Chains A and B, each alone.
Chain A
Amino acid sequence: MELNGSLMLMHALKNEGVKVVFGYPGGAALNIYDEIYKQDFFRHVLVRHEQAAVHAADGYARASGEVGVAIVTSGPGFTNAVTGIATAYMDSIPLVIISGQVPTTLIGTDAFQEIDAVGISRPCTKHNYLVKDIQSLPRILKEAFFIARSGRPGPVHIDLPKDISATIGEFDYPQTISLETYKPTYKGNARQIQKAATAIKESKRPLLYIGGGSISSNARDSILKLCEITKIPAIETLMARGVLGSDCENLLGMVGMHGSYVANMAMSEADLLIALGARFDDRVTGKLSEFAKGADIIHIDIDPSSISKIVQVDYPIVGDVSSVVCEIVELLKDNYNCEIHKTWRDSLKKYNALHPLSFKDSNEVLKPQWVIQKVGEIVSKNAFISTDVGQHQMWCAQFYPFSSPREFITSGGLGTMGFGLPAAMGAKCANPSKISINISGDGSILMNIQELLTCVVENIPVINIVLNNNYLGMVRQWQSFFYDERFSNTNLEIQPDFVKLVESFGGVGYVCEDKDSFEKALKDAISQNKVALLDVRIDRMENVLPMVPTGGALFNMILESKE
């Protein structure tokens, strides 16, 4: 079949089962957009900033487990997309990003809107391509999707010059892909798995350390099974919130800088860590020389380069988390004795009773933690919760009653303010029957506020809960703990009238100053099924606690604010 490059792209999207594409046109992408105009098998969502196109595709991918797709034009279109690409890269999210490029004859001439896009995206993509001839396009398209979703997932970028998107060539879309140089390992080494199982049987203070890789490998069921037969206590990273669900008995909560007291103590005192798709991020480990000092470490990860990168591992297992855990379950299920670590579980219970995750509620002023718990109560298990970055993100990770993987959508690795609204939009497109809520801060929401318009125009009813403290709260918290309360450039006393702002875009707005008004507003926003923004005035000086100061040992937590 003879097709032009743009039509080849359309066919590839169809073949890969793409249902929604997020994008923004421009000169170098005109041929592509002309074919988009003529097709009807996928939905194109026109965003208002390219960063949002990529975040939306990212939210779509996190919510659905499928590859997200974004299309942008050359030059500024592409550079605007970079933050989105880097965000997805840090969190290992499968995306395919297509950028237009100036015609091949102009590449290298500093032509209008030319930029070395593959040079820029190289360090923040799993792989990238500059398409140099029409013959290679079908293969590149197939490879891009294959690479994005296989192994450790990640964003793949294709830079498509304008002349190639118009050139006609033979289109024979490969059915399968086999790359000589790229063969991810899914099945773990049997001997290593056997050794790990033995270590688990013998350990007196074992701990499951669950990371985001458990979500990409859809490992929830096998991990739950492991929990059930072993009763081993478990902790989740920020990226893994929702894997076990808040009613799982084994779960001690989130670990790390803002982890629960019991989770951080468990990490410090365990004699065996079973790391499942976790990467020992510095926000999790705290001071490395004090990290899990008495523990042997089993590390199961699909990415060999993340094993022993930060800490030396005793039982490295390269493979898919879900498949390896299944095998471990097989080895343990008939003869595992949970009694061997009963003392350990009891002592953790005591830790939890000593410093439970809590906050001082009030009826005078709204507490953010109360707000988040209330959201959980009202939408119970029927919502995507995305966040921006800051205190609100951490309160959400701490206090929201998560029930399943892919429910919580947040930028963990890069920590990108402005992620929440477009990601919520993407998640809603992935599953319109769920409520999509973006919990944001008054600083973050302004970073991609223009997407309210996309939501209105495209009828994507996203609810934004802005926890408004008139501060860049998280930075202010650091300034109060570590810089003698010198609040340099974090005071956001003057903010727009958020209600008028959302109304001007065509959505509905609410100001919430007390518990009643908040509850009413949220219920109203849900029942109206419209794009909404709740300006929630919270206690200005509330801090996120516990907190492990950067560079400090995980077991040295600040547990209370100075009064």
Chain B
Amino acid sequence: MDCQKTITIIVLNEHGVLSRISGLFAGRGYNIEALNVAPMLDSKFSKITITTKGDNKVLEQILKQLNKLIPVLKVYESDFCGLEAILIKFDIKESLNELSAIFSGYGGRLLEVNEKFAVFMAYDTSSRINNLLQAIKSFSPRDITRSGILSIEAN
């Protein structure tokens, strides 16, 4: 049975390393739902967080194949504490007060507004971000950008 998993990969921060990782996914037909990369504090490593889907066998292969890449230091299926950021654009005519109230429940706020549009942001777990999306549906969002999961080991 397919299920969603989030994998954290610590890699040497060197030329071409991201394409090695994404190429491995593409070449073997694994899918990437979301991907996040940034250098780690004070080190020559970067942390990549990938959300993917597949049955247990596929996930085990993904972990093993990633481990096999030379610049990969560590791969783990994270028991993670994760957050996602989201940006949502609305027509200025929507009820901004109501929206502000909803977003504040998800660690969010009004980010920017101009004569045509208002952009809200929120910061929360992926499942709560999904709830937020349900909640604002009736306000006809014009555009949405999700960040993918930012994660850190919980234990």
**Partner-B contacts on A (CB < 8 A):** 118-119, 122-123, 126-127, 130, 132, 147, 179-182, 303-305, 307-309
- A179 to B11 alpha-carbon distance, docked (Å): 12
Known A180-B73, A181-B71; judge A130-B60 contact (CB<8 A): no
Known A130-B16, A132-B15, A305-B61; judge A122-B23 contact (CB<8 A): yes
- A118 to B19 alpha-carbon distance, docked (Å): 10
Q: Which of A127, A130, A309 contacts B61 (CB 8 A)?
A: A309
Cβ of B67 under 8 Å from chain A? yes
Best-surrounded residue of A127, A181, A182, A309 (most CB of chain B within 10 A): A181
Smallest beta-carbon distance B22→chain A, Å: 10
Interface pair B67/A308, CB less than 8 Å apart: no
Contacts of B71 on A, CB cut-off 8 Å? 181
Interface pair A122/B60, CB less than 8 Å apart: no
- A16 to B68 alpha-carbon distance, docked (Å): 24
Q: Which of B16, B23, B61, B73 contacts A123 (CB 8 A)?
A: B23
Q: Which residue of A lies closest to B73 (CB)?
A: A181
- A180 to B16 alpha-carbon distance, docked (Å): 18
- A309 to B57 alpha-carbon distance, docked (Å): 8
Interface pair A181/B70, CB less than 8 Å apart: yes
- A182 to B74 alpha-carbon distance, docked (Å): 10
New contact pairs (14) apart from A181-B73, A305-B67, A307-B64, CB-CB < 8 Å: A118-B16, A119-B19, A122-B16, A122-B20, A123-B27, A127-B70, A147-B70, A180-B12, A180-B73, A181-B11, A181-B12, A182-B70, A308-B60, A309-B64
Cβ of B65 under 8 Å from chain A? yes
**Partner-A contacts on B (CB < 8 A):** 11-12, 15-16, 19-20, 23, 27, 57, 60-61, 64-65, 67-68, 70-73
Q: What does DSSP make chain B's interface, helix, strand, loop or mixed?
A: helix
Contacts of B61 on A, CB cut-off 8 Å? 305, 309
- A305 to B67 alpha-carbon distance, docked (Å): 8
Q: List 6 A-B contacts (CB under 8 A).
A: A119-B19, A122-B19, A130-B15, A305-B61, A305-B64, A305-B67
- A147 to B60 alpha-carbon distance, docked (Å): 24
- A442 to B53 alpha-carbon distance, docked (Å): 47
Contacts of B19 on A, CB cut-off 8 Å? 119, 122
Q: Which residue of A lies closest to B63 (CB)?
A: A305
Interface pair A305/B15, CB less than 8 Å apart: no
Contacts of A308 on B, CB cut-off 8 Å? 57, 60
Contacts of B67 on A, CB cut-off 8 Å? 304-305
- A528 to B65 alpha-carbon distance, docked (Å): 50
- A119 to B16 alpha-carbon distance, docked (Å): 9
Smallest beta-carbon distance B19→chain A, Å: 7
- A123 to B19 alpha-carbon distance, docked (Å): 11
Known A123-B27, A304-B67; judge A181-B60 contact (CB<8 A): no
Interface pair B70/A305, CB less than 8 Å apart: no
Contacts of A147 on B, CB cut-off 8 Å? 70
- A308 to B63 alpha-carbon distance, docked (Å): 12
Best-surrounded residue of B12, B27, B64 (most CB of chain A within 10 A): B64
- A182 to B27 alpha-carbon distance, docked (Å): 22
Q: Which residue of B lies closest to A308 (CB)?
A: B60
- A307 to B60 alpha-carbon distance, docked (Å): 10
Best-surrounded residue of B12, B16, B60, B70 (most CB of chain A within 10 A): B70
Smallest beta-carbon distance A386→chain B, Å: 29
- A409 to B57 alpha-carbon distance, docked (Å): 33
Q: Which residue of B lies closest to A307 (CB)?
A: B64
Interface pair B68/A303, CB less than 8 Å apart: yes
Known A118-B16, A181-B12; judge A126-B64 contact (CB<8 A): no
Q: Which residue of B lies closest to A303 (CB)?
A: B68
Contacts of A180 on B, CB cut-off 8 Å? 12, 73
Interface pair A179/B70, CB less than 8 Å apart: yes
Q: Which residue of A lies closest to B11 (CB)?
A: A181
Contacts of B68 on A, CB cut-off 8 Å? 303-305
Smallest beta-carbon distance A287→chain B, Å: 18
Known A130-B16, A179-B70; judge A305-B23 contact (CB<8 A): no
Interface pair B20/A181, CB less than 8 Å apart: no
Smallest beta-carbon distance A215→chain B, Å: 20
- A304 to B71 alpha-carbon distance, docked (Å): 16
Q: Considering the complex of A and B, which 6 residue pairs feature the smallest CB-CB distances, nearest first?
A: A305-B64, A127-B70, A181-B73, A123-B27, A182-B70, A305-B68
- A123 to B28 alpha-carbon distance, docked (Å): 10
Contacts of A303 on B, CB cut-off 8 Å? 68
- A53 to B32 alpha-carbon distance, docked (Å): 38
- A132 to B15 alpha-carbon distance, docked (Å): 9
Smallest beta-carbon distance B85→chain A, Å: 30
Contacts of B27 on A, CB cut-off 8 Å? 123
Contacts of A309 on B, CB cut-off 8 Å? 61, 64
Smallest beta-carbon distance B68→chain A, Å: 5
- A221 to B72 alpha-carbon distance, docked (Å): 34
Contacts of A130 on B, CB cut-off 8 Å? 15-16
Q: Which residue of A lies closest to B24 (CB)?
A: A123
Q: Which residue of A lies closest to B64 (CB)?
A: A305
- A304 to B69 alpha-carbon distance, docked (Å): 12
Known A118-B16, A308-B60; judge A126-B73 contact (CB<8 A): no
- A118 to B60 alpha-carbon distance, docked (Å): 27
Contacts of A126 on B, CB cut-off 8 Å? 70
Best-surrounded residue of A126, A303, A305, A309 (most CB of chain B within 10 A): A305
Q: Which residue of B lies closest to A132 (CB)?
A: B15
Contacts of B57 on A, CB cut-off 8 Å? 308
Q: Which of A118, A122, A179, A305 contacts B65 (CB 8 A)?
A: A305
Smallest beta-carbon distance B96→chain A, Å: 46
